[in-house]
């Protein structure tokens, strides 16, 4: 069960890093339009590019923070920091699904919710 927990935490970290890449460097792609359900015209605006890059940077922080918590820390510190960062993703997914796009709770939230559950109950 510890292996499954670690895989879900890793999945959340990798997903955050992939979102970072898409938001910071891939906003003009078809993949970004589909993933974020935004128009090509909107994503081409200076404001959208700036906002997406900023959001991407924060997603990168989440991904790196989770990787550091899992592989750079040990013991209680590792556990608590993983809970913190996975919890951030769950909260962001819930907020995003309420304010931006309902599918966020499934696409970004589901792996994080499972990871949080496993972190709490497998610890």
Counting other chains too, the contacts that 41-49 makes at CB distance below 8 Å and 24 or more residues apart are none
Distance CA 26, CA 97 (A): 22
Rounded distance, CA 49 to CA 58, Å? Answer: 14
Mean pLDDT of 83-105: 96
Structure confidence at residue 95 (pLDDT): 97
pLDDT tens-digit series, residues 46-62: 999 999 999 999 999 99
Say if residue 123's pLDDT is above 90: no
């Amino acid at each position: 069960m510890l292996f499954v927990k670690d895989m879900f935490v890793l999945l959340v970290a990798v997903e955050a890093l992939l979102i970072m890449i898409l938001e910071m460097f891939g906003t003009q792609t078809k993949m970004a339009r589909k993933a974020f359900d935004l128009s090509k015209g909107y994503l081409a605006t200076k404001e959208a590019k700036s906002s997406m890059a900023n959001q991407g940077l924060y997603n990168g922080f989440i991904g790196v923070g989770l990787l550091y918590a899992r592989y750079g820390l040990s013991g209680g510190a590792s556990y608590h920091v993983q809970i913190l960062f996975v919890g951030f993703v769950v909260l962001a997914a819930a907020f995003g699904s309420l304010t931006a796009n309902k599918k966020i709770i499934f696409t970004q939230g589901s792996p994080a919710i499972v990871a949080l559950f496993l972190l709490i109950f497998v610890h």
